[in-house]
Amino acid sequence: MIVQITPENPLPAPVSLVIPRTYPGGYSFVPYDDFAEEVRAFSLDGKIIECKKDADGPRWAIGHGSERILRIEYRVNVGRMEDRIRSSVESSKIRKNYVGLLGYSVFGYIDGLQAAPVSLRVEGPQDWPVLSTLNPRIVGPKGMAEAQAANYDVLADSQVVMGPGVQFRELPGKIDLLMAVYSEGDEDVDAEGKLAREALDRVQEYFGDTPFKAYTVSLELLQPHQGHDYDFSQEHDSSGTFSLSVEHATNARSPDNHNYSTLLNYAHHMAHSWVPKRVWGVGYRPFNWELPLVIETIWFNEGFGRYAGTQAIFDGLPAEERKSRRNQMIARMHRILDEAPAFIQRMPLTLLSQEASFLYAADFRTGMNVFARGFLMAAEMDDCIQAKTGGRKSLRDAFRALLDWSAANHRAFQVEEMTGIISQSTDVDVHEIVEHWMKAPVG
């Protein structure tokens, strides 16, 4: 595929083109610049301008002195990307009758212009439907889609899906849901859509607001390639990539627990479009696309976010089942902590989060333990708040207060600020709970 960047006005040289090496919520190093080929730039009179790749970084130095740059273009080798990147959820894909693109894996930016608004035009084969999650609506087979992004970060955290192999469904609600499903096996798209619709409704009801008009589920159900990893999902600003093996398809042969586990997975990742996308701790933003950020509060992103998503599902269950399911989940989190290696058990929570900033999925011991500790902190807070207020308030009130604070302040919270907001919004002091969980489980 070819990417073309045309600035609103010709740019004076020199400039730098940057291709990401990480992405929000990935907590890893992914050299997408390795798959950018034939980088070229053109002047006003059509002459080719020199583009030189940095020896170490994901940058191309473009132009000299008095030159003016009309456009930059490059080719992305998506086939090689999928072959080299073994985690399915981290790679774009091109298959027969299907293209699925992760924005940050293909779209670069001109350094210094990240905050500028972006107009996106995507062109495919003329008879293909093309969808950008920036403009989530079902489109006919017209081979093109256009959309706007407020800045590069929003563009990069979007997706493009196209091809006659994609099945689309639109399910209206307080937040509209668009399903874009590509399956290499038997998949009941309508039944899948009902599960996703239920999950989104529960999550929206839990947080109580509608920060985006529509949410897109980009679901890939794939025949596994040897040596590749599947069954991870990835949240985006107002969409999610769910890249699963075909055994996770929804159909008449799905196991008895399929619907419940599918609901939880959708709710977990949908909740991340609130936490941490709209309220976050130190290190998550502003984002650096060239290096993984050192984040001190992944326990909030992944633990509190997971708790909110699961609690949203539990709240819709009958009382006895709700209690049983919640107890099972809490027991699972305790098992993760109990079975952790001693050196992880000795890590304070901030240090564990910093380690997971680079290794969350690559060494999932870090990922599991950081989300488990965060989840259990959230669960203890919720139990304490409900017990001391006689059920009048819960951690849900705290999440809503945190979201309001973030909308007003537009910055990361410090842990002490988070603790104060939770305490004030629920009338229950949670400082001791936070202090306890910030320490290492084993001294």
> pLDDT tens digits for 127-141?
999 999 999 987 777
Task: Output the pLDDT for position 264.
Answer: 97
Q: Helix 395-409 vs helix 364-388: angle between axes, to the nearest 10 degrees?
A: 110
With contact defined as beta carbons under 8 Å apart, do 280 and 257 qualify? no
> pLDDT tens digits for 138-186?
777 789 999 999 999 999 999 999 999 999 999 999 999 999 999 999 9
d(CA 407, CA 264): 27
Mean predicted confidence (pLDDT) in 186-204: 98
With contact defined as beta carbons under 8 Å apart, do 313 and 398 qualify? no
* 2-271 is classed CATH 3.20.20.140: no
pLDDT at 350 over 90: yes
With contact defined as beta carbons under 8 Å apart, do 179 and 192 qualify? yes
pLDDT at 443 over 90: no
With contact defined as beta carbons under 8 Å apart, do 52 and 63 qualify? no
Task: Output the pLDDT for position 142.
Answer: 87
d(CA 134, CA 152): 12
| β-sheet bridge partners, residue 171 | 177
Burial 116-135 (b: 16+ CB within 10 A, else e): eebebebebeeebbbbbbbb
Q: What's the one-letter identity of residue 150?
A: A
Strand ranges across the sheet with 159-162: 93-95, 98-102, 159-162, 130-132
DSSP per-residue letters across 258-297: HHHHHHHHHHHHHHTTTTTTTS-BTTSSS--SSS----S-
Mean predicted confidence (pLDDT) in 185-206: 98
pLDDT at 400 over 90: yes
